[in-house]
Structure 1
């Protein structure tokens, strides 16, 4: 399992990559702009970044240069674009990008590129059975409002929302669904049911958040009218 930051101004692309890579067992952080990507990078260091080239205000190449100059380009970055020229791809590689994905992104090409990029990630190690690989925080002091980086499991025999730690014995998809349900139920509790706060805290678009909660069987009907 790896932490992957997806930076793209197209909601459809963010949601598609989130669904595909989440199914592969990765933890996805989404940013719709360079500004959001900067904030996430300040709070944690992902194992991999999928970065769109053409974005409003600040494009991917400019953001890549910023990270390179400030010493934050310490993880592999794969650029994405449907209109990039060879010169643009070469420039991105010169700055420090590892690879390039052309849109529309083919599923097998995406998975192969991600797998190859993670092999070069300086801190990502394929998890051994029963262990989880997590992204590395940018510092040891992370503010409470920072993006959630890791999941702290209870001591042996204790429960999270009635789910015993023995769910490690379940297939990955089932175990992940159980954990995500417990996680979002916990967030709804501490955020007072505010979809806006949960969306900001988890980095999920509200539309995708509602879809995720519905798929997990979590009742959100009382929050539908929230602005």
Structure 2
């Protein structure tokens, strides 16, 4: 079994070295930091299994550092606070922020070992590093988004999140999810039509998140309407998201007007990455940390020129695209530091292809054929287009064509079109 890693943060060299010797004798791997700046740098590069953190340090007190890690999504390991002249109020404050326990100096050997052992066992049940709303940034745009979500967290009403693809709607939904309650990110939309009541029963007092309501069929929309109307009875919060203009889909008879009215009663716009570019350096650091701690890559720093280039680049795919580029850079850069040349190398791979002027398209249907044959050719092209567009979902093809499904199957058979 790999030895557990403990980070000891204390400005007194005697205490640091004493704790290191004791813990090393117990089989732990111990790293030392003499102040908050060192501890901050070490945490950015690696997630220890446990942190022993002194409260009183010259550059930044331990409580402030604990808050900083919590606000930055870095407090996913147990932290035990230490103080030579602590008070009950300080211990309560540290525990409220997220500390596991509080040790008063001088620390008795048995008390130290018992607390370390308990903290490490507690750490086994903590979630591993992952992106969260805390990682989105510290700028005004994200600050306002967080405040609105905090205000909405007090309610159980349905919420519609609206934003461009990849903007982070799932992180907003996760923010609203209460710890130790059921969570469902529903991607099998057919369950809304076939088992809406079972979904409610299985996720009592939890949160159901639907990533794209515009993709729901008419039957699935009816199932969602039932879920929304009965959610309060089951103590469930329903969060939906869309990248599509739903009123337009209503006008096209593709979306239920009653469902739209219910969803838009409470809606929130999630900003695109272009709206908070100042947060991109912090986002990159968070993404690099998550990739490192998940074991996908070794940690690499980004120099200033590399960060500036990424901040000024275009990100039509928002967070999802930025994360793909960061992963690519972390995995393919040869040195320990990611530089401007590395960023240019990767960004060029995603540069848009120069448009080439094409000749005018040939008619899709032979206009010289008899009307019946030409009509069959057109219908064949029409149905093949919509079958490909919906990945073979015959229900959605029937909705688009406004045909009964049995009529549609007969038509496809007549035209010689095979379905899965």
| TM-score, normalised via structure 1 length | 0.56
Q: 1:48 to 1:24 in 2, by over 3 A?
A: same
Q: Distance in 2 between matches of 1:76 and 1:49?
A: 7
Pick from 44, 66, 69 the counterpart of residue 68 of structure 2: 66
Q: Distance in 1 between matches of 2:45 and 2:6?
A: 14
1:114 aligns with 2:271: no
CA shift at 1:142, angstroms? 1.8
Give 3-state SS (helix, strand or coil) of 1:120's partner.
Answer: helix
Q: Distance in 1 between matches of 2:125 and 2:53?
A: 19
CA shift at 1:122, angstroms? 3.1
Aligned residues: 134
Pick from 11, 14, 29 the counterpart of residue 12 of structure 1: 14
Q: Distance in 2 between matches of 1:35 and 1:143?
A: 19
Output aligned runs, 1:210-225, within 5 Å. Answer: none
Output aligned runs, 1:15-54, within 5 Å. Answer: 15-54=17-56
4+ runs deviating over 3 angstroms: 135-139
* Contact 1:47–1:123 under 8 Å retained in 2: no
Q: Counterpart in 2 of 1:165?
A: none
| Structure showing greater Rg | 2
* Contact 2:37–2:59 under 8 Å retained in 1: no
Q: Distance in 1 between matches of 2:295 and 2:81?
A: 22
Q: 1:92 to 1:104 in 2, by over 3 A?
A: same
> Unpaired segments of 5 or more residues in structure 1?
125-134, 145-227
Q: 1:65 to 1:102 in 2, by over 3 A?
A: same
* Contact 2:54–2:82 under 8 Å retained in 1: yes
Give 3-state SS (helix, strand or coil) of 2:56's partner.
Answer: coil
Q: Distance in 2 between matches of 1:113 and 1:65?
A: 21
* Contact 1:18–1:28 under 8 Å retained in 2: yes
Q: Distance in 1 between matches of 2:295 and 2:73?
A: 12
Q: What's the C-alpha RMSD, in Å, of the aligned pairs? A: 2.1
Q: Distance in 2 between matches of 1:83 and 1:122?
A: 30
Q: Counterpart in 1 of 2:156?
A: none
* Contact 2:8–2:16 under 8 Å retained in 1: yes
Q: Distance in 2 between matches of 1:78 and 1:66?
A: 15
Q: Counterpart in 2 of 1:93?
A: 95
| TM-score, normalised via structure 2 length | 0.31
The structure that is helix-richer by fraction is: 2
* Contact 1:45–1:138 under 8 Å retained in 2: no
Give 3-state SS (helix, strand or coil) of 1:108's partner.
Answer: helix
CA shift at 1:140, angstroms? 1.8
Q: Distance in 1 between matches of 2:114 and 2:34?
A: 24
1:142 aligns with 2:299: yes
* Contact 1:43–1:138 under 8 Å retained in 2: no
CA shift at 1:137, angstroms? 6.9
Q: 1:76 to 1:111 in 2, by over 3 A?
A: same
CA shift at 1:99, angstroms? 0.3
Pick from 76, 79, 103 the counterpart of residue 77 of structure 1: 79
* Contact 1:4–1:49 under 8 Å retained in 2: yes
CA shift at 1:69, angstroms? 0.1
